[in-house]
Amino acid sequence: MRHGRGLLIGLFFTVVGAALMYLTLAGRMPGTLNVAAESPAPVSTVPQTVVDLQQSVVRSAEVVGKSVVNIDVTATVQGRRMPFPFPPGHPQEAHGEGSGVIISEDGWILTNDHVVRGASQIDVTMSDGRKFKGTVKGADAVSDLALVKVDATGLPASNLGDSDALPVGSFVIAVGNPLGFDQTVTMGVLSGRGREIPEPGKEFRNLLQTDAAINPGNSGGPLADLEGRVIGINTAIIPRAQGMGFAIPINHARDIMTQLRASGRVIRPFVGIAMQEVDEEVAAYLRLPRVEGVLVLRSIDGGPAARAGIVRGDVVVEIDGKPVNEVIRFQETIRAKKVGDSVTLKVWGQGRFRTVTLKLAEMP
């Protein structure tokens, strides 16, 4: 009897132990919640530096994107003229689009002149979908910049940065509305600075170069750093190349838009000569004592230089006592002055040096 009772007690504890083990393995221990077993969290294999870069790009796009607008332009153009005896073509409506960036919360928008030139109607769409009618308040074909005004307040103005401070190789983003795709963000680097693109009637000098994708419709939109600060206004590409876009430095655009906002136009000092650098062949032909200066290719009739006696074939070697050997340096020196200022030039012509003083006029 005693042995039978011990056998029953042993069997009881064996059954209880087995039940407890089952409950433990099934996650059903008494006093616990019925929670399904969780899979272990995946371990990220992306380096933290890449994650940080991605987050910087996202933040920058969010910050600057709020101030980027879509600009739809309607213009009236003359229809194609057919040969005689057909009548002249009738005026037709043409449509185009570009981008812009809000520079003040009371509705001032910076864009490219070529985006709004000739517009009879401008429709501006904000990043939040609101639409406004826009008016061109100032435009400058030479710099390819323009100011558009919409009747609104409390708009998200952009943060303008310092285009001279960002090192070449820094990451940048371009934001705009290329080919009708709103709020498109592309990323690249600041590929170079001080670039020049020959374009008749334009001063495309000291441009920023980037490999961030810029397409038709991006014109007038911002090039920004990873802090969301606007460092340039996207303005041009080279179609036959890949990854070569150009932006007007915001430090240059600041001066232009200040003048446009004040008077609707840009007042530039004007000498009235077309120039090129002097090389060894030119110096030898003109019997210059050494290779220096800029060669006058044309002296515009009635301009300050022509009135001062400067003619085609003269060489300007100094301006206000400082040597000048590059066209861009000559132009930068003149641009730093005001209409009405006097400048003194040292000029080589007809085998001798002479000093010429002239008064700067306003560029027509």
Residues with active-site annotation = 114, 144, 219
Please give the structure tokens belonging to residue 265: 């136009």
Q: How far is CA 115 from the centre of its chain?
A: 14
Q: What CA–CA distance (Å, rounded) separates 74 from 84?
A: 30
Write b or e for each residue in 222-242: b if 16 or more Cβ atoms lie within 10 A of its Cβ, otherwise e: bbbbbebbbbbbbbbbeeeee
Say how many C-beta atoms besides its own lie within 10 A of residue 328's C-beta.
15
Q: What CA–CA distance (Å, rounded) separates 99 from 119?
A: 14
Q: What CA–CA distance (Å, rounded) separates 66 from 84?
A: 53
